[in-house]
Amino acid sequence: MKRIATWFLSTVTVVVLMFGYHTSTNSTLSATSQPAFVGSSSTSGSTSSTTKSNGGSTGNSNSNTSSTVTGDVAQTRWGPVQVELTVKAGSVTEVRVLQYPTGNSTDEQINSYALPVLIQETLDSQSANIDMVSGATVTSVGYQQSLQSALDQAGL
Amino acid sequence: MKTEVRRRVEHVMGLPVSVALRGRHADDGRADDAWAAVVADLRESDRVFSTYRPDSVISRMSRGELSDVPPEVAEVLAIGERARIASGGVFDVVRDGVLDPSGVVKGWAVERAAAALRDLEDTDFCLSAGGDMVVHVADPDRPDWRVGIEDATDPTRVRAVVPLRSGAVATSGLAHRGAHVVDARTGLAPTRLASVTVLGPDLTRADVEATTALAMDADAPTWLARRAGLAAYLQWADGRTQTLVGLPD
């Protein structure tokens, strides 16, 4: 039961260890710089080479028909992925994942890579001396009044 | 003495995208090129995934007009589908019959776009899109990035500070946009939880987990306790805060 996590509740300052995933530490760094997608040519459809071809993948939007589109196997930074989408009467009825990266869910990729994190609660933003602000999504419209905007202007 | 920080801002996908750079290529031609690559990459993600554009790949797929699933779309949909299964349907990329992978796309797109910044030698970066960010410190002698976590009830204030050297920070809350996060099973927005900040090694995952946890509302601590490899900072509507840390035993 190594997935059982221990949790702390803190009010002031907590020093924590955070565990990352083993493969993502390495493969994210390397793989993201060159996303290597293979196994697909841009014009191929669901009936191409690899797996079963499901009927009706004609890609039309006739409101009476159900169309199922099966993608080619895509190589992602986590491994091979294949999905199938079903659209019926103009509505998406199903997304199926036919192939996941095998054998290592994200939980299982965790190893002892540790990242110390210190969360300090602060009541005085003026003295916090921060570089960036993480918050509920700021739209471009709301940006002008945001703390992040003030930070960005200070550094321009 | 504080290390000099150079900043740039661009608006992409309807979001302000900010970068802070320090170190060798903080403010030179390489920085210009890397920033241009980041922005171009995010614009490309927007062209493919925007639900606001009727001609995007996602919009066309949602109407059943495409007979192919491009690899990057397969990747995003697979991430969303895994999140749906893991969350018991709270997270879902299909809403009322419309394909809407927005809950996956932002974190995924920013994580991907950050690759151009990782290629800058001896350069630290903090890349944020609308408050979700990827962080990297290249030189062990330079200080941590200090990430402020916005006060959920007063966005002009910072509630906590996290010093970080690598990884990602994602916050989901209702402060700026109202009830845009709902439990996909019930359609209900959270009422007790005001904001969830998730810290993790990868923004793709941190963003999905933060959104899911917020939609879980009062069940968020229980949910996050099962998600190893992350830390979280919760702000409740009643003003309480809670720091949760996953520790594999």
**Which letter, b or e, does each residue of A25-54 get, where b requires 16 or more Cβ atoms within 10 Å of its Cβ?**
beebeebbeeeebebbeeeebbebeeeeeb
Give pLDDT, residue A47.
Answer: 33
Q: Residue B68: list chain A partners with CB under 8 A.
A: 40, 42-46, 59, 69, 71-72
Residue A3 near residue B248, CB atoms below 8 Å: yes
Give pLDDT, residue B168.
Answer: 94
Q: Residue A4: list chain B partners with CB under 8 A.
A: 249
Q: Residue A110: list chain B partners with CB under 8 A.
A: 228-229, 248
The domains of chain A are located at 13-121, 125-156
Give pLDDT, residue B229.
Answer: 81
Q: Residue A24: list chain B partners with CB under 8 A.
A: 201-202
Q: Residue A39: list chain B partners with CB under 8 A.
A: 71
Q: Is the pLDDT of residue A26 over 60?
A: no
User: Is B214 contained in some domain?
Assistant: yes
Reduced to 3 states (helix: H, G, I; strand: E, B; else coil), residue B15 is strand
| CATH code of residue B162 | 3.10.520.10
Confirm or reject contact between B163 and chain A (CB < 8 A). yes
**Pick from A33, A69, A97: which is nearest to B67 by CB?**
A69
Distance from CA of B49 to the nearest CA of A (A): 15
Residues B227, B194: Cα–Cα separation, whole Å:
20
User: Is B75 contained in some domain?
Assistant: yes
CB pairs under 8 A between A and B: 353
Per-residue pLDDT band for A154 (boundaries 50, 70, 90) equals confident
Give pLDDT, residue A95.
Answer: 85
pLDDT digits (tens, 9 = 90+) for A30-84: 323 322 222 222 333 333 333 333 433 444 444 567 888 888 888 877 778 888 8
**Pick from B126, B170, B246: which is nearest to A5 by CB?**
B246
What are the backbone angles phi and psi of residue B51, rounded to the nearest 5°? -85, -5
- Segment B69-75 mean pLDDT: 92
pLDDT digits (tens, 9 = 90+) for A76-133: 777 788 888 888 888 888 888 888 775 444 444 443 334 546 677 766 555 568 899 9
Distance from CA of A27 to the nearest CA of B (A): 11
Q: Residue B80: list chain A partners with CB under 8 A.
A: 95
Residue of higher predicted confidence among A124 and B34: B34
State percent of chain B over pLDDT 90. Answer: 63
- Whose structure tokens read 């930070």? A151
- Write out the DSSP string of B145-181: EEEEEEPSS-TTSEEEEEEESEEEEEEEESTTT-S--
Q: Is the pLDDT of residue A4 over 80?
A: no
- Segment B65-72 mean pLDDT: 88
Residue type, B212: T
Q: Residue B111: list chain A partners with CB under 8 A.
A: 28, 32
Q: Is the pLDDT of residue A156 over 70?
A: no
What domain range includes position B99?
A: 6-245
Give pLDDT, residue A52.
Answer: 35
How many domains is chain B built from?
A: 1
Residue type, A51: T
**Pick from A18, A45, A131: which is nearest to B147 by CB?**
A131
Helix (H) or strand (E) holding A97: strand A91-99
Q: Is the pLDDT of residue A136 over 90?
A: no
Contact check, Cβ <8 Å, B7/A152:
yes
For B84, the closest chain A residue by CA position comes to: A95
Helices and strands: H and E segment counts in chain B: 7, 12
User: Is B219 contained in some domain?
Assistant: yes
Contact check, Cβ <8 Å, A131/B146:
yes
Q: Among residues 78-117 of chain B, which lie with CB inside 8 Å of chain A? A: 78, 80-82, 93-94, 96-99, 106, 111-112, 114-116
**Pick from A97, A125, A155: which is nearest to B78 by CB?**
A97
User: Is B1 contained in some domain?
Assistant: no
Contact check, Cβ <8 Å, B225/A148:
no
